[in-house]
Chain A
Amino acid sequence: MSDVSTILAAGPGTQSRRRRRRVSPLTPVTYLTALVLVGVTVVPLLFVFVDGFKSNAQINSSATALPHPWVTGNYAQILTSAAFWQPLENSAVIAAIATVLVVVLGAMAAFALSRYAFRGREGLFLLFAVGLLFPINAAALPLYLMLDKIGLLDSPLGVALPEAAFGLPITIVILRPFMREIPGELEDAAVVDGATRIGFFLRILLPLSRPALVTVAVLAFVQSWNQYLIPLLVFTSQGRFTLPLAVANFQTQYAQNTASILAFTALSMLPALGCFIFAQRHLVGGFTGAVKG
Chain B
Amino acid sequence: MAVAGDKDLDVPRAELVPAPRAAAPSRRARPRLRRRTELVVLLAPALALFVGFVLLPIVLAAWDGMHKWTGFGSLGPFAGLYNYRLVLSDPVFRESFVHNVIIVIASIVIQLPLGLGMALLLNRRIRGRAFLRTLAFAPFVLPYATTAVMWLLLLQPGGFLDQVMKAAGLGGLIQLWLANLHLVLYTMIVVLTWQFFGFAMILMLAGLQGIPAELREAAALDGASGWQATWRITLPLLGPTIRIWLFLSVVGSLQVFDQVWIMTGGGPANASSTMVTYLVQHGFQSYEFGYGSAVAVIIFLICFIFALLYQRFVLRRDTRGALTRAVG
Contacts and interface: CB of A to CB of B under 8 A. Distances in A.
B114 A37 contact: yes
Count chain B CB atoms within 10 A of each CB in A33, A64, A101 and give the residue with the most.
Answer: A64
A226 B138 CA distance: 13
A228 B60 CA distance: 23
A164 B2 contact: no
Given A140-B296, A194-B18, A277 B322 contact: no
A164 B49 CA distance: 8
Contacts of B248: 291
Interface of B: 1-4, 6, 9-18, 35, 38-39, 41-43, 45-47, 49-50, 52-58, 60-61, 64, 73, 114, 117-118, 121-126, 129-130, 132-139, 141-154, 159-160, 163-164, 167, 194, 198-199, 202-203, 206-210, 213, 217, 240-241, 244-245, 248, 251, 254-255, 257-258, 261-262, 275-276, 279-280, 283-284, 289, 292-293, 295-296, 299-300, 303-304, 307, 320-323, 325-327
A142 B129 contact: no
A137 B276 contact: yes
Count chain B CB atoms within 10 A of each CB in A26, A30, A141, A202 and give the residue with the most.
Answer: A141
Contacts of B261: 228-229
A30 B121 contact: yes
A132 B323 contact: yes
B141 A135 contact: no
Nearest to B209: A15
A118 to B, nearest CB: 6
Chain A: number of interface residues, binned into ranges: 35 or more
B118 A197 contact: no
Nearest to A290: B322
A58 to B, nearest CB: 12
A126 B124 contact: no
Count chain A CB atoms within 10 A of each CB in B2, B16, B130 and give the residue with the most.
Answer: B2
A277 B58 contact: no
B136 A225 contact: no
Contact of B303 (A105, A133, A276, A287): A133
A-B interface, 7 closest residue pairs, ranked by CB to CB distance from nearest? A129-B326, A244-B145, A165-B53, A293-B322, A142-B57, A142-B61, A194-B16
A81 interface: no
Contacts of B323: 129, 132
A90 interface: no
A272 to B, nearest CB: 5
9 contacts: A109-B42, A137-B255, A139-B58, A193-B13, A228-B145, A229-B280, A247-B145, A276-B137, A280-B137
Contacts of A125: 326
A138 B279 contact: yes
Nearest to B65: A142
Q: Is the interface of B mostly helix, strand, loop or mixed?
A: helix
B154 to A, nearest CB: 6
Given A44-B194, A137-B276, A34 B296 contact: no
A148 interface: yes
B257 A228 contact: yes
Interface of A: 3, 6-7, 10, 12-16, 18-20, 24, 26-27, 30-31, 33-35, 37-38, 40-42, 44-45, 47-48, 51, 62-64, 100-101, 103-109, 111-113, 116, 118, 124-146, 148, 161-162, 164-166, 168-169, 172-174, 191-199, 202-203, 206, 210, 213-214, 217, 222, 225-226, 228-229, 233, 243-245, 247-248, 251, 258, 261-262, 265, 268-269, 272-273, 275-277, 280, 283-284, 287-288, 290-293
A3 B210 contact: yes
Contacts of A30: 121, 124, 126
A7 B211 CA distance: 12
A278 to B, nearest CB: 11
Given A7-B206, A31-B126, A63-B163, A206 B143 contact: no
A105 B46 contact: yes
Contact of B153 (A16, A33, A262): A262
Nearest to A14: B209
B61 A273 contact: no
B125 A20 contact: yes
Given A284-B202, A291-B203, A143 B53 contact: yes
B141 A276 contact: yes
Given A143-B57, A228-B144, A261 B153 contact: yes
A185 B81 CA distance: 56
A143 B57 CA distance: 6
A251 B149 contact: yes
B139 A104 contact: no
Given A132-B326, A265-B146, 13 more contacts: A15-B208, A19-B213, A45-B138, A128-B50, A130-B326, A135-B299, A136-B255, A138-B303, A139-B61, A233-B284, A268-B143, A291-B206, A293-B322
Nearest to B162: A63
B154 A47 contact: yes
A244 B143 contact: yes
Contacts of B293: 141-142, 145
A287 B251 CA distance: 15
A247 B327 contact: no
Contacts of A243: 143, 146
A192 B110 CA distance: 57
Contacts of A44: 147, 150-151, 154, 194
Contact of A145 (B53, B55, B60): B60
Nearest to B208: A15
A131 B323 CA distance: 11
Nearest to A47: B160
Contacts of B130: 12-13
